[in-house]
Structure 1
Amino acid sequence: MPDRPTSEDFKNAQTLPYPAKQSEMDIQPQTDLKGYRAADKLKGKVALVTGADSGIGRAVALAFALEGARVAILYNENDGDAQKTKEMVEERGGECLVIKADVRQKAACTDAVKQTVDRYGGLNVLVNNAAFQATQDSILEISEEQLRRTLETNLFGYVFMIQAALPHLKDGDAIVNTGSIVGETGNPILVDYTASKGGIHALTKSLALQFGQMGNGVRVNAVLPGPVWTPNIPGTMPLEEVQKFGHEVALGRPGQPEELAPAYVYLACQDSSFVTGSLLHVTGGKLSS
């Protein structure tokens, strides 16, 4: 078993300016999947992963590549982190198309899908993972700008990406959304973010029903992470939360991005052929009730 930092190990961790870079974190997230055992579960497939410059998105892109998929990654700001993801994919024998785009813009989402299809000849898996969060102690402190950025990134962006991808997806293909356990539990300092994640859960279930009625064979599911050590944590959370990160879960530690990646592989591949509309909890025992 890899050595996983516990909440105690974060007592001296520091915050970083937003947007935080994974390369600058004092405790590096585990995203390299050194112990991962691939089995060609996505051989011949094409996957597009948003928010894949670092954190969970990076780990998912690597896992998909190890499983045989050709991968496109979409990111918004951190060029260096995105190039590192590309290098890591290629070091493992995979192909990686890097796309810089803002998912809040419908045209950018359409163009990202077009670039992927033009490069690889099709699209089989869409992972909506891009996210924005900012903390406020009171709803009265949430500015219109923050509210719009949160909802437009976390909800509008998911819808725009799905609208762009769906015409290219066929029977057996998959959409995997990133929700969050806080979309079920709530969080007093992440009111707008938790609302957006709850919306993603409802979107996932509604589209599973819609696509089922349409009979297009496209499955839609969501992974619900608990606390996971990614650049978003030191980049957006208060210092007191960063320095005890993961303390509230049953396992006594935060998750690492590479521990989330197998859940995305499962929902993207035919092992989950009878799974749609599912909210898959990967939380280390942070329970919703």
Structure 2
Amino acid sequence: MSPEPDYQPRYPGSDRLKGKTALITGGDSGIGRATAVLFAREGANVAIHYKDEHEDAETTLALMRDEGCDGLALNGDIGTKQEAKRAVEETVKRFGGLDIVVNNAGEQYAQSNVTDIPEEQIRRTFDTNLFGPFFVVQSALPHLKAGASIINVTSVTAFRGQDLLVDYSATKGALLSLTRALSSKLAEDGIRVNAVAPGPIWTPLIPASFPEEKLAKFGKGSPLGRAGQPNEVASCMLFLACEDSSFMTGQTLHPNGGDLVGG
């Protein structure tokens, strides 16, 4: 990608996640990588899960090691219950517990015409973007204690849609509803469930999803006039993962460049 996305944390760590263990899906690149590196800087044990981008995952692990974190990388299809369970169990086995779950893995495929969206694509998108987070949460709950945090990465498209990403928008709307339902369900257990809804963020998913003519204008329609960087979303993840947000559940943060959306 040119320019390269900015993954590096902006500030020195302050041990806000010291002694905590986090599992981040889609942690090999983009928002997931920036979150993994920031969590590592803040003292967490971090496991990343990814599909098959081995080189990207190794880069993320190296960045985490630079922060003093000997992280764990796991790969497979997070859209299956078996793999979601394995990811959780391997994380717990390695680090002795689980405190933070970040459901970040996502797929999107631009299609101009709704009638052209193949059934296979719809099912694949829902598997990764919605069923994966559901399965991860199901597998994680037996290990989560009061004070734990679940963070779901939804999207601005959950609030205003996106003409080229109809199926993707549908999954992100469902994930938003899942966040709200889970937050109510798990509140009595002291487990917080929140969401982050990024707008136009410059990640590898963008050039892989959109035609060339769209890339030159990507993000320029936001009130701030530019696309965001992964490290500008990672700070939202940190806030929701640590005790700074101890009185927040069922909420959504909006790093989207100023796009005013309801909810």
Runs of 4+ in 1 over 4 A off after TM superposition: none
1:224-243 to structure 2, matched below 5 A, reads 224-243=197-216
1:28 aligns with 2:1: no
**Which string of whole-angstrom CA distances, capped at 9 and with x for unpartnered residues, describes residues 20-42 of structure 1?**
xxxxx122000122x32321110
**CA offsets per residue over residues 222-257 of structure 1, 9 Å max, x none?**
001010000000001121211111011111000000
State the distance in 2 between where 1:79 and 1:286 align.
Answer: 34
Q: How does 1:72-111 map to 2 (within 5 A)?
A: 72-111=47-86
Shift of 1:287: 2.4
Amino acid in the other structure paired with 1:230 = T
More contact order relative to length (CA 8 Å, sep ≥ 6)? 1
Listed as ranges, the matches of 1:1-289 within 5 Å are 25-33=1-9, 35-212=10-187, 215-288=188-261
Rounded Cα–Cα distance in structure 1 between residues aligned with 2:11 and 2:219: 23
- Cα distance between partner residues in 2 of 1:124 and 1:184: 29
Mark the runs of 5 or more structure 1 residues left unpaired by the alignment: 1-24
Q: Could you give the per-residue CA deviations for residues 113-136 of structure 1, whole angstroms, max 9, x where no partner exists?
A: 110000000000000000000011
- Output the amino acid matched with 2:46: V
**Contact 1:208 1:277 (8 Å CA) reproduced:** yes
- Whichever residue aligns with residue 154 of structure 1, its letter is N
For residues 5 and 153 of structure 2, the distance between their equivalents in structure 1, rounded to whole angstroms, comes to 18
Conserved 8 A contact 1:109-1:160 = yes
Deviation per CA, 1:91-126: give whole Å up to 9, x if none: 111121000121111101101111000000000000
**Contact 1:248 / 1:286 at 8 angstroms: preserved in 2?**
no
Number of residue pairs the alignment of both structures matches: 262
Residues of 2 paired with 1:287 and 1:137: CA distance?
Answer: 25
Residue 170 of structure 1 aligns with an amino acid whose one-letter code is K
Residue 198 of structure 2 aligns with an amino acid whose one-letter code is P
Asked if the contact 1:205–1:277 (Cα under 8 Å) also holds between the matched residues in 2, the reply is yes
Q: Which secondary structure does the structure 2 equivalent of 1:176 belong to?
A: strand
Matched residue, 1:4: none
**Structure-1 separation of matches of 2:11 and 2:72:** 22
CA distance in 2, matches of 1:157, 1:145: 16
Name the counterpart of 1:17.
none
1:190 shift after superposition: 0.4
Q: Structure 2 CA distance, aligned partners of 1:122 and 1:51?
A: 20
Give me the TM-score of the superposition, normalised by structure 2: 0.98
Tell me the alpha carbon deviations over residues 183-240 of structure 1, each in whole angstroms, 9 at most, x when there is no partner. 101111100000100111100000001112xx21100000010100000000011212
3-state DSSP of counterpart to 1:152: helix
1:14 aligned partner: none
CA distance in 1, matches of 2:175, 2:12: 30
**3-state SS of paired residue (1:115):** helix
What TM-score comes out, normalization by structure 1 length? 0.89
